[in-house]
Amino acid sequence: MKKLGLYSVLVSALLFTTGCSEKNADVNDVVAPSESVATEAPIQDGTLLERAGNGNYYMINGQKVLIEHVYFDFDKYNLTSSNKEKAVNNASKLSQVSSDTTIKVFGNTDEWGSDEYNYALGLKRANAVKDVLVSNGVSTNITMVSLGESNPVCTEKTKECWAENRRVEHELEK
């Protein structure tokens, strides 16, 4: 018990003598934060920003631009007037990309037909869109890829779903 009392006195004395010191800060003692502010690097042209149901958003000339998918009728590779308008609108946007950007044009089909037929149809659709791009001022490198029926966005067994799969998509690469 004596030891416990002795330890209590020593601990109290130690706390009393060390205590907390208080110091008023002088304005001259304050270190100013670094003046340099981290800045984000600008997003490069041709960067995919976001995928949407009807197309993809890319950075083009410092702006977020939607490049829409172009859709086709069943068993067709020619553009309807409304889809040709989409392709021309895409061409006006894509004509602004830098010359070191490659535009990939992906042709897709629904599940009807043989694999060989669908790959050929996908390539014809990609070529139809490429022709519109070139004739409307896109001078950068354009490559065509047929995915046939291998890249569906919808897998339900309905006419509306199959129509969503009959499309051409665009992808930008540096």
Query: Which pLDDT tens digit goes with each residue over 30-52?
Result: 445 555 555 677 788 889 999 99
CB 70 within 8 A of CB 83: yes
Element (H, E) at 82: helix 81-94
14 within some domain: no
Count up the domains in the chain and report the number: 1
How far, CA to CA in Å, does 64 sit from each of 3, 21, 58, 141, 142? Answer: 77, 57, 6, 21, 21
Domain that residue 105 falls in: 69-173
Mean pLDDT value of segment 93-107: 95
What are the pLDDT digits (tens) for 108-138? 999 999 999 999 999 999 999 999 999 999 9
43 within some domain: no
pTM score: 0.74
17 within some domain: no
Give the CATH number for residue 92: 3.30.1330.60
155 within some domain: yes
56: β partners: 51, 67
59 within some domain: no
